[in-house]
Amino acid sequence: MTATRCGFVALAGRPNVGKSTLLNHLLGRKLSITARKPQTTRHSLLGVETRGETQTIFLDTPGIHRPGRRAMNRYMSGQASSAIRGSDVVVLLTEARRWMPGDELALRRVGEAQCACVCAINKIDRLRDRSTLLPMIDDVRARHDFQAIVPISALKGEGLDALWQEVSGLLPEGEHLFARGDVTDRPTEFFLGEIVREKIVRRLGAEIPHRATVAVERFTTKPHLAEVDAVIYVERASQKGIVIGRGGSRLKSIGQDARADIETLLGRRVMLRTWVKVRRGWTDDTRVLATLGYR
């Protein structure tokens, strides 16, 4: 009998390098939210892929950055660190441009965990001249004793089989921890809230998304219709006004975008109702953070 393999693989790196895009492409479904802006992912998110005898438990993680003073940033940093520490393999993502100080910070954090590390050089679809990859690979190789360096495009799905091959070869033998067909361990409500938050991140400027979070307060589902009540929390009344927009137009767009995605996820019609509420200082209050799902 062939031995089964099973292990945890953290996708780590500085903000915006494409970790969540990679998770989604590896799983062939949209689990993690993505955006052009940094610090989109806040929670570690588990995605399971079982191929033959090998079960890979991927963990998308918040981008590694210097943790600011706010409790939210410390939470994000803690999520990334514990995912890295608890993994058998880390895939450190960087971009096919040049090594940045943020990559160095991420590498240091990964190096502390002393587990097997593969470097994925992402966004190669953006390169006009692919021969520039060779000096980049040499540069990366000189920085750490990586098990492998794999150029990929998470967006276009290039190089992902090669990456998967490298990673699966590093997984320990062991029983599968998830049943075949299991994809994640989070409840549906988590994903509903994240979908609404993605639309906020995508529709609003740089600052507000950092001050907003979404709580799904009610979720009921029948064969043909699901109902979702979501509250968007911000820190100040001025932010509330911005999220709502003139005559409610922005909140309406956010709701429309989110409803379409939720309908795809649930495979039925959805009635989504949204409210915006002010919860002063929620990003820096550990107790409030815990009540909003950041524990």
Is there binding between residue 44 and ligand GTP (CB under 6 A)?
Answer: no
Is there binding between residue 16 and Mg ion (CB under 5 A)?
Answer: no
Instruction: Report, in Å, the least distance between residue 273 CB and ligand GTP.
Output: 27
Of 20-28, 120-128, 224-232, 278-286, which segment contacts Mg ion by CB under 5 A? 20-28
Single-letter code of the amino acid located at 166: E
Q: Which of 6, 9, 12, 17 binds ligand GTP (CB under 6 A)?
A: 17
Q: Which of 5, 9, 16, 115 binds ligand GTP (CB under 6 A)?
A: 16
| Cα separation values, 188 from 14, 26, 199, 256, 265, Å | 28, 20, 17, 19, 9
* Among the listed residues 222, 226, 209, 213, the one whose alpha carbon sits nearest the alpha carbon of residue 265: 226
* 39 binds, options ligand GTP, Mg ion, none, Cβ within 5 to 8 A by partner type: ligand GTP
| Cα distance between residue 177 and residue 182, in whole Å | 10
* 184 binds, options ligand GTP, Mg ion, none, Cβ within 5 to 8 A by partner type: none
x-or-dash string of contact with Mg ion, 37-76, rule CB under 5 A:
---xx-----------------------------------
| Cα distance between residue 84 and residue 105, in whole Å | 14
Is there binding between residue 94 and ligand GTP (CB under 6 A)?
Answer: no
Of 15-23, 82-90, 139-147, 258-266, which segment contacts Mg ion by CB under 5 A? 15-23
Q: Which of 8, 9, 20, 49 binds Mg ion (CB under 5 A)?
A: 20
Of 17-25, 49-57, 224-232, 236-244, which segment contacts ligand GTP by CB under 6 A? 17-25
Instruction: Report, in Å, the least distance between residue 103 CB and Mg ion.
Output: 16
CB proximity list for 254: less than 8 A, separation 6 or greater: 196, 199, 200, 203, 243, 274
Residues 252, 208, 75: CA angle, nearest 5 degrees: 120
Which token pair is 182? 């299991």
Q: How many CB atoms lie within 10 A of CB 257?
A: 17
Rg (CA), the chain: 20
Which token pair is 101? 């100080």
* 151 binds, options Mg ion, ligand GTP, none, Cβ within 5 to 8 A by partner type: none
* Among the listed residues 119, 85, 117, 91, the one whose alpha carbon sits nearest the alpha carbon of residue 26: 91
| Cα separation values, 241 from 229, 234, 252, 278, 294, Å | 20, 10, 13, 10, 25
Instruction: Report, in Å, the least distance between residue 295 CB and ligand GTP.
Output: 19
| Residues 62-91 close enough to bind ligand GTP by CB under 6 A | 62-63
Q: How many CB atoms lie within 10 A of CB 261?
A: 19
Q: Which residues bind ligand GTP (CB under 6 A)?
A: 15-21, 34-36, 38-41, 62-63, 122-123, 125-126, 153-155
What residue ranges bind Mg ion (CB under 5 A)? 19-20, 40-41
